[in-house]
């Protein structure tokens, strides 16, 4: 069967992987990316410097034969290292052991690896080519280069992986309204840096870390954790980078009473705020003032669409279809799952893209909606609940029940991060499990007063067995 030519917009994370997966299946793939080639010009992502890769994303990378190369650049994160105001820390493991961990990867490194893979598989990549619009009746797209020169190009099957501000989405929306709704979170983020120990200016390291540096250690905090400073309505997190630094992200309300980005406007305001709330992190950021003033506040929002496609002509995926807030560390993972779902579907039915796009949307959209909701819920859990006694008690009960009834109880976080059961299933199952935990804990302030065998028996009786792949 003849295979349609693929015109893919966007060579970011999802575009890079999808181009690879389609080219590996023999599709002729051309990719148009508005930025210059990061392998030549350097990476200018504009979004987070590193991100968390979990099983869904890893599985998609395995389909392209890229998991091992990516893992060579990744840093294992075993759990959340919670920092309280007094600088005490406590590691809350994500899973039961080191088979259930997430991985911190560099966005730039991963993007460049994917571009190399796409080219190796035969995709042709065109940089400095911004999609302006599409004429679906004529089957053409309009592109603009950095000098402002425009050209019309005959398009193949159009796939939009051009991110949250997708130009292809805007073009489709002009022909078929997509029901677009963007819900801003009302909170933004700012990135800061804890450098590798070797890069601290002389005399700025606390004595214990100066000794660690002398022993040749690289990281100023525990390397194998996602660090969180939960403070109620706001928080900081930090993810490790392979060379020994951490990218710290401050999340705050955009406006309103202190603290918000409106009141913590510059380094002079931020320094006393950090001294009160994040003192142990502040002492590890020698370039705090410069970074705080130089780095922008990023916006956070969720994108909802009622439709992702235009007949058999065009389809959106990744952030172009479902941008979410980053608190479950799943935006890229969900986009990678899209790519791994679409490539075999197209491969099986290359002559009927309308049917393939409809099937893709049927499978993926409920799951995109579920992870969007869970990502917002996880913000509340991360910034408030990881330090809340009731949350910790529920978590401890969940762990005890997992040991006693492993086929009937698995935390929602583990279902999302360490399995590939559909997100919509994970959300529903999480609700049912949470309701049962609340019931079991009614009247108990500690697990000591609970009959654990009776609780496990209820779990086995009331929660159906988990799917085999969970």
- What residue ranges bind ligand FAD (CB under 6 A)? 9-15, 32-35, 47-48, 51-52, 130-131, 161-163, 167, 189, 298, 318-320, 326, 329-333, 335
Nearest to 273 by CA among 287, 258, 284: 258
3-state secondary structure of 8: strand
Q: Is 68 exposed, middle or buried (0-12, 13-18, 19+ CB in 10 A)?
A: exposed
What single-letter DSSP state applies at residue 7? E
Closest separation in Å from C-beta 9 to ligand FAD:
5
E strands, 150-180, in order: 150-154, 157-160
* Closer residue to ligand FAD, CB minimum distance, 31 or 221: 31
**Nearest residue to ligand FAD, scored by beta-carbon proximity:** 12
* Closer residue to ligand FAD, CB minimum distance, 101 or 463: 101
Closest separation in Å from C-beta 315 to ligand FAD:
13
* Closer residue to ligand FAD, CB minimum distance, 191 or 347: 191
Closest separation in Å from C-beta 334 to ligand FAD:
7
Closest separation in Å from C-beta 87 to ligand FAD:
25
Q: What is the residue-wise DSSP string for 354-420?
A: HHHHHHHHHHHHHHHHHHHHHHHHHHHHHHTGGG-HHHHHHHHHHHHHHHH-TTT---HHHHHHH--
Nearest to 100 by CA among 55, 50, 53, 51: 55
* Closer residue to ligand FAD, CB minimum distance, 33 or 277: 33
Does residue 127 contact residue 16 with C-beta atoms inside 8 Å?
A: no
**Quick one: tokens of 356?**
């393939």
* Closer residue to ligand FAD, CB minimum distance, 14 or 264: 14
Closest separation in Å from C-beta 226 to ligand FAD:
9
Give the list of residues 6+ apart from residue 268 with CB closer than 8 angstroms, or none.
none
Closest separation in Å from C-beta 430 to ligand FAD:
18
**Quick one: tokens of 235?**
């928080």
Taking the C-alpha atoms of residue 341 and residue 18, their distance in angstroms, rounded to an integer, is 10
Taking the C-alpha atoms of residue 121 and residue 90, their distance in angstroms, rounded to an integer, is 45
* Closer residue to ligand FAD, CB minimum distance, 175 or 392: 175
* Closer residue to ligand FAD, CB minimum distance, 10 or 240: 10
Closest separation in Å from C-beta 214 to ligand FAD:
33
Q: Is 204 exposed, middle or buried (0-12, 13-18, 19+ CB in 10 A)?
A: exposed
Closest separation in Å from C-beta 317 to ligand FAD:
7
* Closer residue to ligand FAD, CB minimum distance, 188 or 230: 188
């Amino acid at each position: 069967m003849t295979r349609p030519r693929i015109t893919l917009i966007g060579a970011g994370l999802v575009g890079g992987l999808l181009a690879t997966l389609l080219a590996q299946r023999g599709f002729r793939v051309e990719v148009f990316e508005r930025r210059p080639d990061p392998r030549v010009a350097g990476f200018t992502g504009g979004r987070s410097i590193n991100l968390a890769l979990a099983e869904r994303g890893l599985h998609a990378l395995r389909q392209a034969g890229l998991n091992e190369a990516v893992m060579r650049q990744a840093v294992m994160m075993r759990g959340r290292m919670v920092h309280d105001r007094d600088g005490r820390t406590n590691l809350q493991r994500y899973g039961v052991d080191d088979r259930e961990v997430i991985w911190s990867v560099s966005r730039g490194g991963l993007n460049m690896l994917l571009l190399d893979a796409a080219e190796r598989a035969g995709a042709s990549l065109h940089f400095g080519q911004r999609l302006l619009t599409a004429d679906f009746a004529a089957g053409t797209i309009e592109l603009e280069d950095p000098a402002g020169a425009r050209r019309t190009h005959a398009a193949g099957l159009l796939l939009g992986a051009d991110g949250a501000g997708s130009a292809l989405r805007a073009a489709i929306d002009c022909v078929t309204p997509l029901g677009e709704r963007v819900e801003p979170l009302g909170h933004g983020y700012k990135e800061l840096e804890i450098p590798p120990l070797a890069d601290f200016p002389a005399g700025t390291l606390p004595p214990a870390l100066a000794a660690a540096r002398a022993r040749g250690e690289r990281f100023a905090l525990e390397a194998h954790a996602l660090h969180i400073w939960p403070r109620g309505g706001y928080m900081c997190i930090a993810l490790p980078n392979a060379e020994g630094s951490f990218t710290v992200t401050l999340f705050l309300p955009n406006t309103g009473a202190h603290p918000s980005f409106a009141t913590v406007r510059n380094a002079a305001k931020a320094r006393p705020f950090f001294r009160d709330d994040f003192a142990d992190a502040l002492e590890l950021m020698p370039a705090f003032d410069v970074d705080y003033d130089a780095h922008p506040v990023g916006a956070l929002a969720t994108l909802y669409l009622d439709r992702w496609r235009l007949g058999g002509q065009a389809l959106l995926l990744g952030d172009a279809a479902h941008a979410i807030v980053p608190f479950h560390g799943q935006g890229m993972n969900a986009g990678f799952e899209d790519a791994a779902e679409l490539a075999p579907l197209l491969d099986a039915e290359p002559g009927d893209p309308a049917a393939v796009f409809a099937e893709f949307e049927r499978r993926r959209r409920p799951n995109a909606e579920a992870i969007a909701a869970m990502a917002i819920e996880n913000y509340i859990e991360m910034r408030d609940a990881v330090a809340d006694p009731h949350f910790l008690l529920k978590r401890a009960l969940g762990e005890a029940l997992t040991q006693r009834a492993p086929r009937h109880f698995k935390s929602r976080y583990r279902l999302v991060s360490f399995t590939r059961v559909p997100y919509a299933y994970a959300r529903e199952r999480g609700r049912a499990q949470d309701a049962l935990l609340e019931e079991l804990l009614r009247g108990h302030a500690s697990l000591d007063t609970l009959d654990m065998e009776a609780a496990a028996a209820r779990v086995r009786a009331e929660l159906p067995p988990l799917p085999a792949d969970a």
